[in-house]
Every structure is written in structure tokens, then in C-alpha cells.
């Protein structure tokens, strides 16, 4: 995305994007009560239901990568701020909350405001802006340098807002209302202004597209036919940095130190991947690639008082995140290790004084960390417990809970979880988690459901959250949460992402690797006497759906399938538009069916000559169901037992609470019917 940094006050175009500044407006969205009383007092243990999973209170980004944004830590460390959300299925909405969590555990969490509307996220891809992605659009929270004020974003209908909460007066006021998304948020170093980035040029671009329609649109790379019948705006529209004085709500010039505050990555060493700077700026740490390959090892480099110090131990590689301690004397960092990087380790190191010391090693997802006093504050998910915030002690690795928005969940009975590790025929290793019913089972083989394709953190519903793992286990299924192996192209030491994808797609090598991994683990579970080889279902969204359809095209492992997106086929490239078509051709897909029929006979379910008909359920979004139509019609015409449901107003990841619960319930009921003995 192009970026333009304004050096003057608000431009005319930018000013047109904003409503009037107001200090008296009040949010009108539904405010959450955290850990609502009606969820306590459930007597006795019972299995987890689909309703329990939908009713969880969530906060932060959907992912569990080290950089996933979950909370904002106050300077000085008295509070952290979170934006929480919880589904209200009855009226297909959400309640939200901006909450302050005390770090000393002596006070109670305080909800200071609602968190605005939950809007589906959009993204920039293939040169097009605002493609419907689905899932909740992220909120931004930023403390002022003094810690006395909190700036945060809200969605209110079609507008994006910036609000300010003042600790001293315990009050919030609206600072800005914008017709375009607020994409970055910070404070000026002196705390007198709120800084933000947005793309007000989208307003003019949308008006131009509207006018163009009077003469007919020229069909080109601006179209995303899956989600609309008109062009989208370009992702090259520049982002404008702007500043608002918090005392008078007036725009002011953006200063050089404002730019550094709003875009701290701009000052990082060239080629750095991870970066950390001490509070006083005297100590730097960063990682770089040791080779030209995007899949190569990384090295840790440190500069202390202008002196370069190398970290040459093995434990200094594969670093995912790092931070300097408050006093700047120690570097703390997080790295991945183990089969498929399934284990997370934390280290503390005093550069120049011996080897880094490991203080925590876990298969739990611990992420989004921030240093606080002599500890790390992090978000955490375990395989059986949803997200919470913890403090980790570097002295002994001990963890304690600071914030748990779902204490009632501990009253429920989870299925047992067993971490599995194995290698496929290509000698690529991966892992998964086998979840068995919570009640003691009879000595009989269980039906198995494969859920894809990331098995880190809380085992809720797989990627896209449509397959309720624990709820399915409670109904008597064995469920394998399958973590896809690394991309096959990584073995070829690719120089960039395009090379990696080309090597992965050549001969469908990556899909063959995934299928091999699935076959190895299914055979293992069958040989252990745990599962019934004749009652195995595969499910998937996106990459997981592609793995599922390839498996159905090239094996007889599965007796049923549920897809959240569908399907790899020659028509898919046309339906997705010119930009996506060109990208797929660049990474190795043929330009048409006629150009390489053999390619599609292996990779497209509707063209696969040896595919065995099995019951299939497609649960598609309104933004993507068109991709499924040719495959659906072809398979239905051949007599496959196939049905499809389309969920309105949804993108890639579905967000409506009513839809999420309906999908959970339908998937469970359908699997019970198809996999019954």
C-alpha cells in the first residue's frame, strides 16, 4: 500500500472525510457486562455445546501469532485496556466493551464504554482495496505517553470514530468521526495530539466509480466478481498521516517525531524481520535472514551503546518476538521450536554475559506479549481453555491469570486432548490434537472428523471457526485438529513467496504432502483401534477446503465432507476476477482447462475421473458461494448426495452470530446422520 505522510494540517480532501469534531457525543451500541451473572451457577459438569462456544466473550485479533493484537498496556503499568465482544444470537448482534483491567489484582475490571459496532473486516489483496474478509474488524487502543488518557477506535454504522477516555475524570468523549477506516493510531511523543492514518482518497475514488457506471464499467483487474458487480477501489490509494490536538480537536501539522510514533517500523535496520528498542533508545535488537531464502534461518543481532553483539547459540534462531526489560539490561524473546514449530519457548538474555536462559517452554499459545515491571504480560490460549491474559515471571516461568472473561467455562467438561506428532512420505513433519469424548467410551471404534488447518491455541472451531471441536466430541465423535505441514515449496529454499508457491503448486506437490500427512495419521489412529476407517469425514475453509477437495479427488480416505468454501476448478479463476486469475497464472496455474487438462484432473474435484461420490455439505458465504456453483451442479448431476446453504451478508470468515450458531448446529447434525454406524 502506498503511503503519503502529510507535513501540513488537514488537507481539503481529508477534511471532507470527517464529520464535525464533538466532545458531547455518546456511543449507543450495546455494552457488554463481562462474565454475565446468568452464566454462573451452572450445577454439575456437562459437555460443551455449540451454544457455549458461540457465547464466549472474545477480545483482540482472531489469530494467535506472536504479533496478534490482544490488549494495550498502560505506561507505568497500572492497567491494561481490552476491547471485548460477545455474540447475542437472539437478535443477531454483539455487545461490546472497552474495559480497564487492573494489573495488581486488588481492583475489579471496569467497563468504561461500549466498543462500538462489530463490522466485518476487509482487506487489500491483488491490488484491490476493501475485499470482504469477514471476521470482526479490529479495534485500535493506544495509551497516551503519560498513561492518563486512552484513545480507541469504534465503528458506528458506516463511520469510523476515535474516542478519548480520561482517567482523571473517568469520562469519554468523541474526538473524530471519519467516513473511511482509521488504519493506524498513536499519540504524539508529547501527548498533546492523537495521530492517525486513513485513506480519504477512497471517497473521491468511489465517486469516480459511481460516475463511470453511467457509461458502463470496463471489466478489468478492479473487479472482484465474487462480492460485487462493480469495480473496487485500488489499494494504491495513499494513506495520509494526520494529527489532532486533543485540547481543541483541531488538526495540526504532522511533525517528524509524530511519524516515528505512528510508524515505528520506519526506523528499523534495513532487512530486519523482528525488532526491539529499549526505552532510552540505547539498545537495539533485531533479526535478519542468514540466507536469501524466505524460509531460511534467522540470526539475532544486538547493539548496546553502539557496540555490536552477536547471539551465536542455537536458541537464538527462529525468534518470533522480542522486548527489552524496563531497565534495558535484559532482552526477552519468544521463539518457536519442535515438530512443525508446535512449541513456544521464552528466553531472557543479558547481551555480553553468557548464554540466554529459557524460562518457559509450552505447547500453549502465548502471544501478544508486553514487558511489565519484571514480567511479561501476554494473552494465552490452551487447547481446552479460551483466551485470557496472564503474567509470566522470567525468574521461574510461573504464570498467573490477570483477566479471564469466561470463568464459567471452567465448569464445563472438556474432551481429552492428546498432542500427536508425525512425518509424511516427503519427510515433512507436522502435528495435530486428537480430541476424544469427555465421557468414558465403550470399547468400540469412533467416527473421526478432521478439522483444519491450524491447531495452535484454543481448539474452538478450526480455521474460520465453523466446526465446534469440543461440541462434536461431546456428541461422541473423535476429532482431529490437523495443523497443515509447512508448504512443500519451503524445501526448495525459495527466494520469495512467488517461488515458494510455484514449487508448492508444481505437480500439486503441496496438496500431495497434506494428503500424505492425513493418510499417515488416519492409519495410525485406525491401527490403534480408536477410529473407524469407514467413518471419517474431512472439513475445511479456504486452504483447508482445497486440501479436502484434493483428498476427495485422489483418495478414498473419506466417507463424508463439509466445505466452508468450494472449490478448485477452472471456472474459479474466472469467477474471482482478472487480478486473482493473473496471480494464479503467475504461480503456476494454467490459463485455461484446455492449456493443461491433466492439471485439473488431479486438482479439481469436478474434473477428477476417480473421485468416489460421498455425501457433501457446503456452507458458503454470500461473498463466495459463486465459486461453488459449477462444482455443485456437476456433482449433483452425477448423483452425488450434495447440498449447499448460503449465508447472506458474509465474507470469507462468517461473523453474524445467528449464522455461526446455525453452522455449528447443522454441521453436528449432518455429521451425526452421515457417520452413524
pLDDT digits (tens, 9 = 90+) for 399-438: 999 999 999 999 999 999 999 999 999 999 999 999 999 9
Greater pLDDT, 41 or 301: 301
Find out whether 151 and 175 touch, Cβ atoms under 8 Å: yes
Question: Number of helices and strands (H, E) in the chain?
Answer: 13, 36
Name the pLDDT band for 36 (thresholds 50, 70, 90). low
- CB-based contacts of 577, cutoff 8 Å, min separation 6: 221, 223, 224, 225, 226
Please compute the mean of the pLDDT values over residues 272-299 and round it to a whole number.
Answer: 85
List the grid coordinates of 557: 480416505
> What would the DSSP string read from start to end of 657-670?
HHHHHHHHHHHHHH
Q: What is each CA distance from 279 to 66, 187, 331, 349, in whole angstroms?
A: 21, 16, 12, 17
- CA–CA dist 171, 149 (Å, integer): 10
Contact at 8 Å (CB) between 243 and 194?
yes
User: Residue 455's closest CA among 338, 368, 369, 552?
Assistant: 338
Burial environment of residue 410 by CB neighbours within 10 A (0 to 12, 13 to 18, 19 or more):
exposed
Residues 6+ apart with CB under 8 A from 106: none
The helix/strand/coil state of 360 is strand
End-to-end CA distance of the chain: 54
In sequence order, the β-bridge partners of residue 285 are 276, 302
Q: Beta 399-403 vs 388-392: how paired, if at all?
A: antiparallel
Q: How far apart are CA 280 and CA 327, in angstroms?
A: 9
Asked whether the bond before 567 is cis by omega within 30 degrees of 0, the reply is yes
Q: At what angle do helices 543-554 and 509-527 cross, to 10 degrees?
A: 70
Q: What is d(CA 177, CA 545) in angstroms, rounded to the nearest whole number?
A: 39
The 3-state DSSP class for residue 311 equals strand
Is pLDDT above 60 for 657? yes
- CA–CA distances in Å: residue 582 to residues 220, 573, 574, 587, 631: 11, 9, 10, 9, 22
Count the neighbouring beta carbons within 10 Å of the beta carbon of residue 385: 18
CA proximity to 112, closest of 144, 70, 145, 154: 154
Across 131-140, 170-179, 199-208, least confident range: 131-140
- In SS3 terms, 496-545 reads as CHHHHHHHHHHHHHHHHHHHHHHHHHHHHHHHCCCEEEEEEEEEECCHHH
- Position 42 scores a pLDDT of 53
- Residue 134 near residue 650 (C-beta atoms within 8 A): yes
Q: What is the mean pLDDT of the chain?
A: 90
- Residue-wise pLDDT for 359-409, tens only, equals 999 999 999 999 998 899 999 999 999 999 999 999 999 999 999 999 999
- What lies within 8 Å, CB to CB, of 362 at 6+ separation is 343, 344, 345
Q: Does residue 82 surpass a pLDDT of 90?
A: yes
As a whole number of angstroms, the distance between CA 325 and CA 329 comes to 6
Work out the pLDDT band at 41, boundaries 50, 70, 90. low
Residue 655 confidence (pLDDT): 94
CA distances in angstroms from 144 to 167, 234, 378, listed in the order given: 11, 33, 21
The pLDDT-based confidence of 677 (bands split at 50, 70, 90) is confident
For 10-37, what is the mean pLDDT? 43
Phi, psi (rounded to 5 degrees) for 13: -65, -40
21 has a pLDDT exceeding 50: no
Q: Identify which has the larger pLDDT, 27 or 341.
A: 341
Q: What is the largest CA-CA distance in the chain?
A: 74
Which domains, ranges and CATH numbers included, belong to the chain? Answer: 268-363 (no CATH), 415-674 (3.40.50.1820)
Give ∠ CA 642-134-378 in degrees, rounded to 5.
120
> Taking the CA of residue 461 as centre, how many other CA atoms within 13 Å lie in the half-sphere pointing to its CB?
25
State the pLDDT confidence band at 4, using cuts at 50, 70 and 90.
very low
Provide the grid cell at 418: 492428546
Over pLDDT 70: what percentage of the chain?
Answer: 94
**Quick one: pLDDT at residue 44?**
59
With beta carbons less than 8 A apart as the criterion, state whether 498 and 587 touch.
Answer: yes
pLDDT (mean) for 69-86: 93
CA 31/CA 85 separation, integer angstroms? 9
CB neighbour class for 622 (10 Å; exposed up to 12, middle 13-18, buried from 19): middle
Q: What span, in angstroms and rounded, lies between the C-alpha atoms of 349 and 301?
A: 12
Average pLDDT over residues 315-342: 93
Quote the pLDDT of residue 39: 53
Give yes or no for a contact between 81 and 71, defined as CB atoms under 8 angstroms apart: yes
What are the distances in angstroms from CA 182 to CA 14, 152, 155, 264, 637?
12, 10, 10, 17, 48
- Print burial letters for 200-216: b (CB count within 10 Å at least 16), e (below 16): bbbbebbeeeeeeeeee
For 459-471, write each residue's pLDDT tens digit.
999 999 999 999 9
Among candidate residues 119, 183, 55, the one with its CA nearest the CA of residue 650: 119
Amino acid at each position: 500500500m502506498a503511503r503519503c505522510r502529510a507535513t501540513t494540517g488537514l488537507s481539503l480532501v481529508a477534511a471532507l472525510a470527517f464529520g464535525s469534531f464533538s466532545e458531547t457525543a455518546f456511543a449507543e451500541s450495546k455494552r457488554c457486562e463481562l462474565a454475565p451473572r446468568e452464566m454462573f451457577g451452572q450445577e454439575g459438569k456437562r459437555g460443551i455445546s455449540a451454544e457455549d462456544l458461540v457465547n464466549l466473550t472474545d477480545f483482540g485479533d482472531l489469530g494467535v501469532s506472536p504479533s496478534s493484537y490482544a490488549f494495550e498496556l498502560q505506561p507505568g503499568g497500572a492497567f491494561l485496556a481490552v476491547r471485548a465482544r460477545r455474540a447475542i444470537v437472539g437478535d443477531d448482534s454483539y455487545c461490546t466493551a472497552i474495559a480497564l483491567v487492573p494489573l495488581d489484582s486488588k481492583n475489579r475490571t471496569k467497563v468504561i464504554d461500549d466498543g462500538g459496532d462489530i463490522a466485518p473486516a476487509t482487506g487489500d489483496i491483488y491490488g484491490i482495496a476493501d475485499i470482504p474478509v469477514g471476521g470482526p474488524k479490529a479495534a485500535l487502543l493506544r495509551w497516551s505517553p503519560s498513561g492518563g488518557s486512552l484513545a480507541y477506535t469504534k465503528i458506528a454504522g458506516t463511520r469510523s470514530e476515535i474516542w478519548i477516555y480520561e482517567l482523571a475524570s473517568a469520562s469519554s468523549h468523541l474526538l473524530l468521526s471519519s467516513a473511511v477506516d482509521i488504519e493506524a493510531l498513536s499519540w504524539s511523543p508529547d501527548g498533546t495530539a492523537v495521530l492517525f492514518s486513513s485513506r480519504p482518497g477512497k471517497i473521491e475514488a468511489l465517486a469516480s466509480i459511481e460516475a463511470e457506471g453511467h457509461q458502463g464499467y470496463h471489466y478489468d483487474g478492479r473487479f472482484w466478481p465474487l462480492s460485487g458487480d462493480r469495480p473496487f477501489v485500488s489499494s494504491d490509494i495513499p494513506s495520509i498521516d494526520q494529527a489532532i490536538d486533543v485540547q481543541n480537536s483541531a488538526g495540526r501539522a504532522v511533525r517528524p517525531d509524530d511519524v516515528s510514533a505512528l510508524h515505528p517500523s520506519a526506523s528499523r535496520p534495513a532487512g530486519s524481520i523482528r525488532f526491539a528498542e529499549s526505552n532510552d533508545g540505547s539498545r537495539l535488537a533485531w533479526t535478519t535472514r542468514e540466507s536469501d531464502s524466505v524460509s531460511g534461518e534467522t540470526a539475532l543481532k544486538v547493539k548496546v551503546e553502539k557496540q555490536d553483539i552477536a547471539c551465536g547459540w542455537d536458541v537464538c534462531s527462529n525468534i518470533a518476538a522480542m522486548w527489552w526489560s524496563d531497565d534495558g539490561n535484559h532482552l526477552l524473546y519468544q521463539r518457536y521450536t519442535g515438530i512443525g514449530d508446535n512449541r513456544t519457548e521464552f528466553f531472557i538474555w543479558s547481551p555480553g554475559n553468557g548464554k540466554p536462559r529459557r524460562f518457559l517452554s509450552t505447547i500453549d499459545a502465548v502471544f501478544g506479549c508486553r514487558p511489565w515491571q519484571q514480567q511479561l504480560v501476554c494473552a494465552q490460549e490452551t487447547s481446552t481453555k479460551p483466551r485470557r491474559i496472564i503474567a509470566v515471571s522470567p525468574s521461574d516461568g510461573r504464570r498467573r491469570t490477570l483477566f479471564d472473561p469466561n470463568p464459567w467455562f471452567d465448569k464445563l467438561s472438556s474432551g481429552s486432548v492428546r498432542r500427536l506428532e508425525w512425518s509424511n512420505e516427503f519427510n515433512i513433519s507436522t502435528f495435530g490434537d486428537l480430541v476424544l469424548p469427555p465421557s468414558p467410551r465403550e470399547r468400540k471404534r469412533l467416527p473421526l472428523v478432521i478439522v483444519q488447518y491450524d491447531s495452535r491455541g484454543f481448539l474452538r472451531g478450526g480455521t474460520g471457526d465453523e466446526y465446534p471441536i469440543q461440541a462434536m466430541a461431546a456428541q461422541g465423535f473423535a476429532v482431529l485438529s490437523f495443523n497443515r505441514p509447512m508448504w512443500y515449496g519451503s524445501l526448495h529454499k525459495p527466494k520469495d513467496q512467488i517461488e515458494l508457491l510455484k514449487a508448492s503448486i508444481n505437480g500439486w506437490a503441496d496438496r500431495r504432502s497434506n494428503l500424505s500427512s492425513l493418510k499417515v495419521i488416519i492409519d495410525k489412529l485406525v491401527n490403534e483401534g480408536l477410529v473407524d476407517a469407514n467413518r471419517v469425514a474431512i472439513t475445511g475453509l479456504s486452504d483447508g477446503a482445497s486440501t479436502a477437495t484434493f483428498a476427495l479427488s485422489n483418495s478414498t480416505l473419506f466417507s463424508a465432507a463439509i466445505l466452508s468454501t468450494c472449490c478448485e476448478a477452472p471456472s474459479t479463476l474466472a469467477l474471482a476476477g482478472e487480478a486473482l486469475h493473473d496471480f494464479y497464472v503467475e504461480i503456476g496455474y494454467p490459463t485455461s482447462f484446455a492449456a493443461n487438462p491433466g492439471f485439473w484432473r488431479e486438482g479439481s474435484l469436478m474434473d477428477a475421473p476417480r473421485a468416489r461420490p460421498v455425501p457433501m455439505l457446503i456452507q458458503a458465504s454470500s461473498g463466495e458461494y459463486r465459486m461453488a456453483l459449477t462444482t455443485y451442479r456437476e456433482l449433483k448431476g452425477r448423483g452425488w448426495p450434495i447440498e449447499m446453504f448460503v449465508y447472506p451478508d458474509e465474507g470469507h470468515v462468517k461473523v453474524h452470530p445467528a449464522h455461526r450458531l446455525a453452522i455449528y448446529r447443522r454441521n453436528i447434525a449432518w455429521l451425526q446422520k452421515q457417520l452413524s454406524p
